[in-house]
Amino acid sequence: MRQLSSEEVEAFRKNGYLLHNEQLFSAEKFDRLSDIFAEHLADKGEKLSDELDTPHFRDPRLLEFLLADEVLDLVEPLIGPNIALWSSHFISKEPHTGRATPWHEDSAYWEGRLSAYDRIVTVWLSLDGSDRENGCMRVIPGTHSNGFSEYSPVDQSVNTFHAEIVDVDESKGVDFELKPGECSLHDGRIIHGAHANTSSRRRTGYTMRYFPTSVRVYPEKNPGWKIWLGRGADEAGNVYANA
């Protein structure tokens, strides 16, 4: 697995995202992850397909992928050598019925839970293929430096979240079109969202989120939350599930 070039790192710093149109894992490893997702989907019960949050809390097999060198090598130039796993999430939008994802910043859902937000990176791995037709992720470049935005309520029966950022210039949106096995990276503060899946094809991604260990995770604000040390050493006195 190659590391990001200096030009790619610079582009990420400027724009808040990067498309990595290369296979993240080997074909055999990718197939294992896809099979694990299929199990979670089959066992989801009453949950919607886009609500499979923190599956690695329940299934340690996912740590093989979340703590893999292929992923950590990719994020290290953006985060630094001391890396921790913050969260993961299977987000699957079924054909014709997949809900829209309103414009939001991931950091808004973590406000107050961490000591800093400026180097949290999400790797969004496409399991099915993601394009405009089946509701690929979209970002507004450069908005990762805007601070926390103002939100207004939306109908959660047709949206994955309960609120949306107001006054977003959608004409600036960039679509993240990815083949199965390819991934994107985005800053946890960037404004992003996705249209509903109106196609006949499923759209599934596995989000893997990382932060530098210099960031303090406040225990009192994160009851029951678990983090893992991915690489390097702790710098903030955090407690890790794999310590």
Q: Give the pLDDT confidence of 194-207 residue by residue, as tens digits.
A: 998 999 999 999 99
The CA-based diameter of the chain, rounded to the nearest angstrom, is: 48
Please say whether the beta carbons of 198 and 96 come within 8 A: yes
What is the Cα–Cα distance from 182 to 146, expressed in whole angstroms?
Answer: 28
Please say whether the beta carbons of 100 and 158 come within 8 A: yes
* Topology of the domain comprising 6-231: Jelly Rolls (2.60.120)
Contacts of 123 by beta carbon, 8 Å cutoff, 6+ apart: 24, 71, 74, 75, 183, 184, 185, 207, 208, 209, 210
Q: Which element (helix H / strand E) includes 187?
A: strand 183-187
Spell out a b/e string for 114-141, using b for 16 or more CB atoms within 10 Å of the CB, else e.
beebebbbbbbbbbbbbbeebbbbbbbe
- The model's pTM is 0.93
What is the Cα–Cα distance from 77 to 97, expressed in whole angstroms?
Answer: 38
Contacts of 131 by beta carbon, 8 Å cutoff, 6+ apart: 175, 177, 178
The alpha-carbon radius of gyration of the chain (Å, integer) is 17
Helices and strands counted in the chain (H then E) = 4, 13
Alpha carbon separation from 113 to 23, 43, 103 (Å, rounded): 33, 30, 21
**What is the full per-residue pLDDT of the chain (243 aa) written as tens digits?**
678 999 999 999 999 999 999 999 999 999 999 999 999 999 987 666 556 899 999 999 999 999 999 999 999 999 999 999 999 999 988 898 768 888 999 998 899 999 999 999 999 999 999 999 999 999 999 999 888 888 888 787 777 777 788 889 999 999 999 999 999 999 999 999 999 899 999 999 999 999 999 999 999 999 999 999 999 999 999 999 998
Please say whether the beta carbons of 192 and 139 come within 8 A: yes
Tell me, rounded to whole angstroms, the distance of Cα 200 from its chain centroid: 24
Q: Which two tokens stand for residue 159?
A: 């949206």
DSSP letter string over 3-63? PPPHHHHHHHHHHSEEEE-S-SS-HHHHHHHHHHHHHHHHT-TTS-TT-EE-GGGT-GGGH
Please say whether the beta carbons of 124 and 176 come within 8 A: yes
